[in-house]
Structure formats: structure tokens, C-alpha cells
Amino acid sequence: MKRYYIKRVLSALATIIIIASVTFFIMKFIPGGPFTREKKIPQSILDSLNAKYGLDEPLLIQYKNYMLRLLQFDLGVSFKQQDTTVNEMIAQGFPTSAKVGILASSLIVLVGIPIGIISALKKSSAIDYSVMFLATLGVTVPNFVIATLIIYFFAGQWNILPTSGISEGPLSYVGPMIALAGYSLSFVARLTRSSMLEVLRQDYVRTARANGLSEFKVIYKHALKNAMIPVLTYLGPMIAAILTGSFVVEKIFVLPGMGRFFVESVTNRNFTVTIGFTVFYAVFYIIMILLVDIAYSIIDPRIRLDS
Amino acid sequence: MSKKILEVKNLETSFYTHLGEVQAVRNISFDLHQGEILGIVGESGSGKSVTSLSVMNLIEDPGEIKGGSIRFSPNVDDNFIDITKMTREQISQIRGNDISMIFQDPMTAMNPVFKIQNQMVEVIQRHTDLNKEDAIRRAKDLLGQVGIPDPEGQITDYPFQFSGGMRQRAMIATAISCNPRLLIADEPTTALDVTIQAQILELLKKLQNKIDMSIILITHDLGVIAEAATHVVVMYGGQIMEKGTVRDIFNNPMHPYTRGLHKSIPTATKEKKRLIPIEGSPPDLLDPPTGCPFNPRCPHAMTICTEESPKMYTVSDTQSSKCWLMDEKAPKVKGYKKPKGAK
């Protein structure tokens, strides 16, 4: 068991190093650099800028230097924002992204799973059909449409929510939370429903009924624990993705989150930021997957004891 | 004769599919007395499993018990209750307590994510007033009774750590945990290899004797019937073709289908004889043939067999056969002895 986790952690570290390397070289190979301007910059200035940031060294030396700094959790400095390190940018953007993300994730778990269960239990009823209609809508309508509708109705027409920013306390998080949760909430509801329907057909559910257990126990003990396994698989990476911010939603609601920095850094060839954010995102993602695996082994003894 | 504990009368169970109504069980009646092991034999799709699930009232959507009654006496006072008319809560008090069931595939019939102990204790606690420690003690005792070598250590295992035979033993232990009057075993040995099969049947017989329960044993294997059953119901096309004691059915079968079954199983005698299969395939229960369901495959089929369904003819005190050959107006066929006074 212990060995299994040590192995998992080591392979996670290897994955992070590979991701950082690949991102580094991709950023190096696309044309243009952080100091490319429409206006021609004198070669001497360019040279001294490159020298200052160590960009005049051979590529492999730059790579070595970058990786060595990375191992000390130093993601470098931004080429755009004066005197700002990438670590500082993450520290600045992540709390907002994470706050909205945690709210959205809670909404997904606390609403998506229950409505999926209800839908499965009331299969082919009016409730089931309307829930699944809404869920299909939620999966297909992009989040910027949802975000725009929220702003139009709740902020514009009815004046319940602020249009943008985080200056108005808890209320300012409601819009982004719903816009960010929409897709995944619908997806989780659908996934829970189909997984639950699948499990309810299993022999052991029939056995539980044949043993005279109450319908409540049959469903919320025997069926639910099994039905949650696929849902959990989806939730881990989803939570990682949501917590690290969505560019679109943050842009529409003008939130000072991480998504904005990330997208801008790519267009600016601000590669320290791009790689830094990518690595941060990857680490986060891998940790979530690790957590899912641990949760798995708690739910499903076959995984825990087989290894 | 011992006490009657189950009386199935004119039972009809159908499944409503998008192709139409599948009449899985069509008007069957049989009785079960205390201490009997009733084997229900038939090929796939003959309605034997649906019959057993109907007795448990476990038929699920899109299936439905359409008609008839299933009267069961849960205690010695002969108070019969009709299972088809019980509410969900009422029936769940009976299931696992007075009537238990074990299933064909022990690999999938236990919940993979709970320990054996957990799954047994919850059933025991559902139907008794035992506290947790006593329920665990009882569960260990039961596992010992069904031949689990180390109940103390193995009770905290998960089902996947058990072999198929051991799982079926654990299923049986759970099923008998509340001393049921009736145990329904739906192909309990089909998924197991032959040596384990014999052990499980032995175990069922031993337990039947010990706690004086009755058993309905569903199988497609006449060998299993011969080994374990006291009485037999032969099903075909959702109907009962013949019923009687195990002696009647093996020594003096009075239905062409039963005879066909006998001819199609190998014997362990010295003489080499070709097996004779029953030609054709079972009827489509979406659109069952008129008359006797076996008529398209029957070597003795007459005109009337395709037109009208025969009634259940009484062959003897213990045996009856649903075949026109038993009618007094039917022509004599070698080997079939018409009952005296047949009408």
C-alpha cells in the first residue's frame, strides 16, 4: 500500500518535469519573443535585455538554468509586469480563482449529484425528463452565454447581482459561480443518473432487495457507493480545472483571477509566466488525481487490496 | 402429508417490452409442503427463474405479476398471506426472513464494496433484535455452518477475496441467517465447477434437514434434480408440462417433453448410446403457439395439440401431466399409460 503511493508520487514528479520541459521548448520554438514589438527596438537594447534575463545563452543552458530554478520553486520573473515574479502573480490571481472555483465545485457536488440520483430513481417521469432537458442544455450552452444571460437578467434587468468585480462581497461571487458550474453541474447530474441506473440493474442490488433490506438502504447504501465511482473519476480533474480559473468567465465578470494572466502570457510570449502557470496547473491537476485515487481506494476495496 | 407452506395458483407474469408483451409465465399452479425440495427444471426461457422471482415478488419494471395468487404461510399457524397483494414494506419483512433467495452467479450477487460481515450483519439486524456483537457472532457461526474454514478471520474479507464456491457459501449463510421457512435457489450451482456443485447441493440438503425449511431449486440440469430434489416441476414455454415426485419424473415420465429431456442427457452406463436432442427451438413467448407450447417439437403431436391447450391430467396421486396423450380419446402411444378414469 505504502509502496503504491510512493510509486504514485514519484511518477507524478516525473510527469511534472516532462510537462515543464515540453512547455519550455514549445515556447522557445514559436516565433517571436517577449521583447518583440511592432516598433523596431535597437539591437543594442535587445542584446542587453537578453543578456539581463540570460536569454543570450545557448538553449540547453537556458533550459538547465530554468529547471534548476524550478526545483527551488522559483518560477522566474515576468517579462511584462515590472519587478513581478511569476510566484507573485500566482499568489495574486489564485485566491480569487480558487474562491470562485470552490464555490462552483460545491454547487456541482451538492446539487449535481442529488438531482442525478432523483432523476435515476424517477426514471421516465416528468421530473426525470425536465431535469435531463435542463442538463442537456447545461452541457451544450457555452459558459459565456450563461455568463452573459446572468449579467443581463440578474444584474441588468432585476438588479439583484453586481455586474462585475468582487467589490460587493459575497453577492459578487454568485454570477461567476453559476456560470463556471453550469457545464460540470449538468455533466455530473447526467453521469450520476446513468451510473445509478447502471448500478440499480446489478445483481447485488437484487440480492439486497431479496434479503429484505429497506428500499432506503438498498439505494443509499448498496447502490450509491458503487454508483459514485465513475462520478469521482470526473470530479477530481474537474475540480482542478475549475479552481485554477476560467479565462472566459473571469474576463466577463472582470475578476482578478489567474486565467487572464495565463492567456495574455501566451500572446505576449511571456514564457516564464506561461511555463510557470502550466507547471502550477499541472501540479494541481496531478494532486487532484492523486486525491481521487486515494478516495477510490477508500470506496473500492478491490483497488486498495489488489495492489 | 406434511403441511402446505406455499400455494401458487394460476400465476401469470409478463414483461412489457417495446416489441410487445412477453408472457414469461402462463397460468401455472403448484404447491409446496414443508420439508420438500422442489426442483423446477426447464431450458432457458422456460419461465423458471421468473416463477421464482414472482414468489419473492421481485419482478421489476417492465415486468408485472398479471394474475393469480401466491399464498405463503410464514409460520406454523397456517395463516396464509398472498404475496402478490403485499406492499413493498410488508414484503421486505418477509424477504430474507421467512423466504430467502440465493442466485445463480455468486461473483456478482454480493456487493463488491462491502465486507462479508457488513452484508451479513445488516440482514440479521434487519430481521432480528440482535445487537451488533451478537449479530456478528451469529454471522460467524453461520459461516462456520456453511463450511467457511476460518470464519473468524474471513468474515472481514471482501467478496472478491472469496472464490466462487466460497461466495455461494456466504450467500447461503446470509440466506439462512433468519431460519427461513422457504429457500429459493435459482441455479445455485450453474456458475460453479462440478466438484463444488456437489458440495453446495450437499450443503443445501444438510441445512434443509437441520432447520426444517423447504427449498425451491431452479435448474436446467436434471442431474442436479436427481441429486437433490424430492419433487419436480418441469416447465416449458412458461407453462408446467409435468409435475410429480422425483421418482415419478425419472422412472415414469408421462410427458413427451420430459422424455425428450431424459434422452438428451448422457448416462454413465457402459452402453454407448447416441444422445437424442429435442429438435427445434423453444417457443417465442412474445407470440406463443396456440395449443400446447411443445407441439412444434413434439414427436407425437396431433391435430388437437395445435388447436387447444391440454389440461393438467392427473396421472397418479403425486403426478400430473399436461398432455393430450393422457386423454381417454387419444390414440395409444407406446410407453404412455393413460391414467385410469381419465376424462
Closest chain B residue to A204, measured at CA: B109
- Provide mean pLDDT across the span A202-226: 92
- Residue A123: partners with Cβ closer than 8 Å, 6 or more residues away: A197
- Please state, in angstroms and rounded to a whole number, the distance separating the CA atoms of residues B206 and B202: 6
Closest chain A residue to B161, measured at CA: A302
The strand pairing partners of B30, in sequence order, are B8
**Radius of gyration (C-alpha) of chain A in whole angstroms:** 24
The pLDDT of residue A183 is above 60: yes
B251, B256, B261: which is closest to B220 by C-alpha?
Answer: B261
Name the band, by pLDDT with cuts 50, 70 and 90, for residue A94.
confident
The pLDDT tens digits of the residues spanning B8-36 come to 999 999 999 998 899 999 999 999 999 99
Nearest to B92 among A207, A212, A225 (CB): A212
| Strand arrangement of the beta sheet that strand B81-82 belongs to | B20-33, B4-17, B63-72, B81-82
Name the band, by pLDDT with cuts 50, 70 and 90, for residue A115.
very high
Q: What pLDDT shows up at residue A305? A: 65
Count A/B contacts: CB-CB distance under 8 Å: 77
- Please state, in angstroms and rounded to a whole number, the distance separating the CA atoms of residues B106 and B168: 5
Nearest to B127 among A209, A212, A299 (CB): A212
Residue A173 has a CB neighbour count (10 Å cut-off) of: 22
Q: What pLDDT shows up at residue B119? A: 94
The pLDDT tens digits of the residues spanning A158-172 come to 877 777 777 667 777
Closest chain B residue to A211, measured at CA: B96
Domains of chain A, first to last: 95-264+282-299 (1.10.3720.10)
Burial environment of residue B108 by CB neighbours within 10 A (0 to 12, 13 to 18, 19 or more): middle
The pLDDT tens digits of the residues spanning B141-155 come to 999 988 899 999 999
Collapsing DSSP to helix, strand or coil, B5 comes out as strand
- Please state, in angstroms and rounded to a whole number, the distance separating the CA atoms of residues B272 and B290: 38
The strand pairing partners of B72, in sequence order, are B6, B81
Between A2-11, A166-175, B123-132, B194-203, the lowest mean confidence (pLDDT) is in: A166-175
What is the full DSSP assignment across A88-107? HHHHHHHHHHHHHHHHHHHH
The pLDDT of residue B343 is above 70: no
What is the full DSSP assignment across B27-77? EEEEEEETT-EEEEE--TTSSHHHHHHHHTT---TTEEEEEEEEEE--STT
Are A211 and B126 a contacting pair at CB < 8 A? yes
Residue with cell 396421486: B317
Which residues on B lie below 8 Å from A222 (Cβ)? 111, 114
Reduced DSSP (H G I as helix, E B as strand, rest coil) percent helix, strand, coil of chain B, to 5: 35, 25, 45
Report which residue type is found at A258: M
Are A302 and B114 a contacting pair at CB < 8 A? no
- A103 or A43: which leads in pLDDT: A103
The pLDDT of residue B172 is above 50: yes
Q: What pLDDT shows up at residue A275? A: 84
The pLDDT of residue A13 is above 90: no
Residue A126 has a CB neighbour count (10 Å cut-off) of: 8
The pLDDT tens digits of the residues spanning B95-145 come to 999 999 999 888 899 999 999 999 999 999 999 999 999 999 999 999 998
What is the full DSSP assignment across A223-267? IHHHHHHHHHHHHHHHHHHHHT--HHHHHHTT---HHHHHHHHHH
List residues in chain B touching A: CB distance below 8 A.
56, 58, 88-89, 92-97, 100-101, 103, 105, 108-115, 122-123, 126-127, 158, 160-161, 171, 174-175
Euclidean distance between the first and final Cα of chain A, in Å? Answer: 7
- Chain B CB within 8 Å of residue A273 CB: no
Are A226 and B97 a contacting pair at CB < 8 A? no
Which residues on B lie below 8 Å from A300 (Cβ)? 112-113
Residue with cell 432523483: A118
Closest chain B residue to A216, measured at CA: B89
Q: What pLDDT shows up at residue B53? A: 92
- Chain B CB within 8 Å of residue A69 CB: no
The pLDDT tens digits of the residues spanning B265-280 come to 777 766 677 788 888 8
What secondary structure letter does DSSP report for A81? S
Report CA torsion sign: B280, B283, B288, B293. positive
CB contacts under 8 A, A 214-233 vs B, are: 214-215, 217, 221-222, 225-226
Mean pLDDT, all residues of chain A: 84
Q: What pLDDT shows up at residue A306? A: 59
Nearest to A210 among B93, B96, B113 (CB): B96
Are B103 and A213 a contacting pair at CB < 8 A? no
- Provide mean pLDDT across the span A70-78: 81
Q: Which three cell numbers stand for residue B77?
A: 399457524
- Provide mean pLDDT across the span B232-240: 93
- Please state, in angstroms and rounded to a whole number, the distance separating the CA atoms of residues B233 and B151: 36
- Residue B262: partners with Cβ closer than 8 Å, 6 or more residues away: B222, B250, B253
Which residues on B lie below 8 Å from A296 (Cβ)? none
Mean pLDDT, all residues of chain B: 89
Among A34-48, A233-247, B266-280, name the most confident range.
A233-247
Nearest to B95 among A212, A301, A302 (CB): A212
Are B58 and A206 a contacting pair at CB < 8 A? yes
- Please state, in angstroms and rounded to a whole number, the distance separating the CA atoms of residues A134 and B335: 69
B221, B231, B179: which is closest to B200 by C-alpha?
Answer: B221
> ipTM, 2 decimals?
0.87
- Chain B CB within 8 Å of residue A291 CB: no
Name the band, by pLDDT with cuts 50, 70 and 90, for residue B184.
very high
Which residues on A lie below 8 Å from B100 (Cβ)? 210-211
Contact (Cβ atoms closer than 8 angstroms) between residue B113 and residue B161: no
Burial environment of residue B27 by CB neighbours within 10 A (0 to 12, 13 to 18, 19 or more): middle
Q: Which three cell numbers stand for residue A264?
A: 495574455
Q: Which of A122, A211, A218 is the best mutation test for B, with the most CBs of B within 10 A? A: A211
- Output phi, psi for B112, to 5 deg: -70, -20
Between A89-93, B233-237, B246-250, the lowest mean confidence (pLDDT) is in: A89-93
- Provide mean pLDDT across the span A273-297: 84
Buried b (16+ CB within 10 A) or exposed e, B227-237: bbbbbbbbbbb
Which residues on B lie below 8 Å from A225 (Cβ)? 113-114
The pLDDT of residue B247 is above 90: yes
Which residues on B lie below 8 Å from A305 (Cβ)? 158, 161
CA angle B80, B55, B162 (to 5 degrees): 125
Predicted TM-score (pTM) of the model is 0.81
What secondary structure letter does DSSP report for B127? H
The pLDDT of residue B241 is above 80: yes
Closest chain B residue to A226, measured at CA: B113
Residue with cell 406455499: B6
Q: Which of B56, B92, B102, B157 is the best mutation test for A, with the most CBs of A within 10 A? A: B92
Report CA torsion sign: B321, B324, B329, B334. negative
Q: What pLDDT shows up at residue B66? A: 92
Q: Which of B89, B91, B113, B190 is the best mutation test for A, with the most CBs of A within 10 A? A: B113
Which residues on B lie below 8 Å from A121 (Cβ)? none
CA angle A205, A211, A216 (to 5 degrees): 60
Longest dimension (CA), chain A: 85
Are A301 and B110 a contacting pair at CB < 8 A? no
- Output phi, psi for B95, to 5 deg: -65, 135
| Strand arrangement of the beta sheet that strand B313-314 belongs to | B99-102, B182-186, B214-219, B37-41, B231-236, B239-245, B320-321, B313-314
A39, A41, A49, A33: which is closest to A82 by C-alpha?
Answer: A49
How distant, in Å, are the alpha carbons of A8, A150, B112, B119 from that of A295? 14, 35, 16, 22
Q: What pLDDT shows up at residue A77? A: 79
- Chain B CB within 8 Å of residue A206 CB: yes
The pLDDT of residue B204 is above 80: yes
In angstroms, what separates the C-alpha of A232 from chain B's closest C-alpha? 15
Nearest to A204 among B56, B89, B109 (CB): B109
The pLDDT tens digits of the residues spanning A14-30 come to 988 898 899 888 888 88
CA angle A146, A149, A155 (to 5 degrees): 125
Q: Residues of chain B with pLDDT > 70: what percent? A: 97
Contact (Cβ atoms closer than 8 angstroms) between residue B71 and residue B83: yes
Q: Which three cell numbers stand for residue B23?
A: 408472457
